[in-house]
Amino acid sequence: MMVFSIEGDERQYKCPESPKDVTLGKYVSFLRDIAPHEPAEIAKLQEYNYRINELMDDLQKWVAKVQQQPKELSVDETLDLLTGYLNGEPTIKATQYLPPIIKELGEVQKKQMAIVDKMTAVWYAKHLIPYMAKTVAHFTGVTYAKIMGAEGIGMTRKALEYLYDKISRACAPKEASEYKRRYLINGEVYELPERFMQNSTLIEFAEAAQFQENADRVNAGQAEALIDVISVIMRKPGEMYSEEVYHRNRKTFEQMSLDDALEVAFFLKTQSDTYVTNFVTSTTVRLAEVVKMEQALQERTVGTSRSKPLQKVVYSIGRMLRR
């Protein structure tokens, strides 16, 4: 945890710096209460940015064939390079494969930049700053009013952006996740099963049924069900599934760290695509970075070079994207 204070306020506050600093309950309540207020432009940019990255990846093998001096290219440079190639002496395969990808890439890029053009300094002040303030208030305990200056103290824009960035990174999963069988939660040991549910007994059937119901709720976007899913599968050593154990776990696991929760989610994904379809990537475990603008919005330089790599300065915490 990072400790910080606000000028004029004698209290000290804590800001999470890693998933170990965030409880699953705190994260789930963020998804339920704060995330729905994220500016719509952020979600659209994320959607377009994902698609651009996918299309650029598809084109890399062709870029490598055509490019004389290898270097990283922007979207515009890639489009110019491959369009020029198609206007020259392309292979038959290139004429069949490249045109639809190049066309879609150009169209998605235009949509992306149209969104960026709407993100003026006024938009930033009216929409993004309040959302960042609500997020920082949720994870640090500083009141929203105090952050926004209503209590005569206030936080600088630079400080708000810094804390929001810290929180975004703290809620992001590792590139690769592993899991262990045993976890220490509130001083007690809980463990994952040696084998996954087989429906071989009535108890296991009830366990699997409850698990599937909760998994369906997660995939439907109900954030609270994240805790319910884990509460079914993790228990103290030697315990059998029961409603009593399930409800006890439901309360206890709110205090589980997000770091441990991500590991358990990885276990669920590796064990059964039948019970949880794309559990990791289709729910809040996938916390994707979002592209917002080329330069700080106050400088208003976006759009001057429509394909310069956009600066990654804003993150979408906990977007529920089905990939």
Question: Does 123 reside within a domain?
Answer: yes
112 contacts 120 by C-beta, under 8 angstroms: no
- Judge whether 177 lies within some domain: no
The reported pLDDT for the residue numbered 174 is 64
Q: Do 18 and 85 fall into the same domain? A: yes
> CB-based burial of residue 235 (10 Å sphere; 0-12 exposed, 13-18 middle, 19+ buried)?
buried
Residue 255 lies in a domain: yes
> Using CA atoms, how far apart are residues 242 and 21, in angstroms rounded to an integer?
30
Among 223, 229, 219, smallest CA distance to 282 is for 219
Residues 103, 248 within the same domain: no
H or E element that contains 285: none
The predicted structure's pLDDT at residue 272: 53
Give the separation between CA 93 and CA 95, rounded to whole angstroms.
6
Does residue 71 lie within any of the structural domains?
Answer: yes
Tell which residue, 223, 182, 208, 164, has the closest CA to residue 24. 223
pLDDT of res. 232: 80
Number of neighbours of residue 142 by Cβ within 10 angstroms = 23
Question: Total domain count for the chain?
Answer: 2
What pLDDT does residue 141 have?
Answer: 94
In this structure, the answer to whether residues 111 and 246 fall within a common structural domain is no
Do 16 and 52 fall into the same domain?
A: yes
Supply the pLDDT for residue 218. 60
CA 57 to chain centre: 21
Q: Are 296 and 278 found together in one domain?
A: no
One pLDDT digit (tens) per residue for the chain, 323 residues: 999 988 888 899 999 999 899 998 999 899 889 988 999 998 888 889 889 999 999 999 999 999 888 888 899 999 999 999 999 999 999 999 999 999 999 999 999 999 989 888 899 999 999 999 999 999 999 999 999 987 777 899 999 999 999 998 888 766 656 678 889 998 899 988 776 545 444 445 455 556 666 566 665 666 677 788 788 888 899 888 888 998 999 899 999 998 888 888 777 766 654 444 343 333 333 333 322 332 333 333 333 333 333 333 344 554 432 22
> What is the extent of the structural domain holding 24?
1-172+287-323
Half-sphere exposure of 5 (CA within 13 A, CB side): 6
Is 318 within a domain? Answer: yes
Rounded-to-integer distance, Cα 52 and Cα 31, Å: 26
Question: How far apart (Å, rounded) are the C-alpha atoms in residues 274 and 323?
Answer: 17
Token digits of residue 101: 């990808």
Q: Are 267 and 281 in contact (CB under 8 A)?
A: no
Helix (H) or strand (E) holding 57: helix 40-66
Q: Are residues 157 and 237 in the same domain?
A: no
Q: Are residues 192 and 166 in the same domain?
A: no
Same domain, 4 and 85: yes
Tell me, what's the pLDDT at 319?
40
Q: State whether 48 and 154 are in the same domain.
A: yes
The per-residue pLDDT for 56 is 94
Give every CB contact of residue 153 below 8 A, 6+ residues apart in sequence. Answer: 6, 7, 8, 9, 146
Whether residue 76 sits in one domain with residue 40: yes
Question: What integer pLDDT is reported at residue 217 of this predicted model?
Answer: 62
